Structure 1
Amino acid sequence: MAHFPALDPAELPADAVEIGRIADAWGVKGWFKVLAHSASPEALFSSKRWFLQPSEKGAKTFSGTVLLQVRQAREHSDSIVASADGVDDRDAAEALRGARIFVPRSSFPTAGEGEYYWVDLIGLDVVNREGVALGRVRDLLATGPQTVLVLVYEEEGKERERMIPFVSAFVDQVQLPERRITVDWQPDY
């Protein structure tokens, strides 16, 4: 029976964003591998306080929300590894397997000019230069060299999907306060 690390129960912050999950133990000293939801995991590295919730599937070694005080998180070959207070051996790290990682949006580093966090784009309305509504951003896909906006819209009473490359050739303006993206795109593309 694996012993569970002593983690403090916590309240999930109102601005919490799910940014990854714990994949597995790494080594014998309590380190663990992390699978980030984003290709750019800066939010994982910038926050020393991760809020964990149990995996939606599989065995649950804890319930509710717990706070993990991260000692170190870094890239290691093609993955991310981390260590945390109270997670001191392989058994403790294995007990976290599958846990969902949340960090407060307020702890994300400031995005650079013309850069956006995916989480900030989801739910935005997309219109073209003529003001025609093309849909709402439901998801983003990383397709190697570029990111693609996945829009959902209704047509003849059915929900449909539209994909628009998130590149400057097509995206004119992202207006976060107005919750709108303006694109050079036509409904029949």
Structure 2
Amino acid sequence: MAMTQDATTGAGSDQHVVLGKLTSTYGVKGWLKVYSYTSPMDGILDYPEWQLRLDGKLVDRKLAQGRQHGKGLVAQLDGVTSREQAEQLAGAEILLPKQSLPPLDEGEYYWHQLEGLQVTTQDGESLGRVAYLFETGANDVMVVKDADGKERLLPFLPDEVVLEVDLAAGRMTVDWDPEF
């Protein structure tokens, strides 16, 4: 059982995942800085067809070229050749239709698949729903929020903490003390 990071909280819509964001311009030839939510970071460059969401509107754009620059990424999109054109796209979210994501092996999950799952203990006690996930380096962590808004941080450790994931039923069974 493994997870692949694909998006952050509030992932697009039911049909899309948010892969990243165009943050600001880079240079004068239409390049943009890219903040990637994918793991590894440059995985976002593996998708040549992007949908950009800016001010609630979706625009299709092709990735002309992209590369790592320092600790981040920069990209140029087809038809964007000036700083002024790039400025108009700064702040746009980069979306990908979910059906464009590569299939995973059995027991592997994208983060967007786990968000919203009902989390229960082995004894059937509800802990809440997976609100979002984040990386810590050692392992990924799920933030589980109950109806009262209380948050629990549970490590995503298959076979240790996470015993079962049933996407069809919308639930996850965990080995976790509800008092913790």
TM-score (norm 1): 0.77
Q: CA deviation at 1:108?
A: 1.2
Whole-angstrom distance in 1 between the partners of 2:66 and 2:90: 16
2:42, 2:73 within 8 Å by CA — same for their partners in 1?
Answer: no
2:16, 2:95 within 8 Å by CA — same for their partners in 1?
Answer: yes
**How many residues align structurally?**
168
Which of 102, 109, 120 lines up with 1:116 in the alignment?
A: 109
Whole-angstrom distance in 2 between the partners of 1:43 and 1:176: 25
Whole-angstrom distance in 1 between the partners of 2:78 and 2:179: 54
What are the within-5 Å matches in structure 2 for residues 6-85 of structure 1? Answer: 15-41=15-41, 44-54=44-54, 64-85=57-78
Query: Could you tell me which residue of structure 2 aligns to residue 107 of structure 1?
Result: 100
Paired AA for residue 47 in structure 2: S
Whole-angstrom distance in 1 between the partners of 2:68 and 2:59: 24
Query: Could you tell me which residue of structure 1 aligns to residue 169 of structure 2?
Result: 178
Give yes or no for the alignment of 1:139 onto 2:132. Answer: yes
**Cα RMSD, aligned residues only:** 2.4
Whole-angstrom distance in 2 between the partners of 1:53 and 1:100: 5
Q: Note the alpha carbon deviations across 1:109-149, whole angstroms, 9 max, x for none.
A: 22345432111111111112222221101111222322111
Q: CA deviation at 1:107?
A: 0.8
Query: Could you tell me which residue of structure 2 aligns to residue 5 of structure 1?
Result: none
Decide which structure has the larger Cα Rg and report it. Answer: 1
2:21, 2:92 within 8 Å by CA — same for their partners in 1?
Answer: yes
Give yes or no for the alignment of 1:187 onto 2:162. Answer: no
Counterpart secondary structure, 1:116: strand
The gaps in structure 2 that reach 5 residues or longer are 1-11
Counterpart secondary structure, 1:91: helix
Counterpart secondary structure, 1:28: coil
Q: Note the alpha carbon deviations across 1:72-96, whole angstroms, 9 max, x for none.
A: 3343332122221111122222221
2:36, 2:42 within 8 Å by CA — same for their partners in 1?
Answer: no
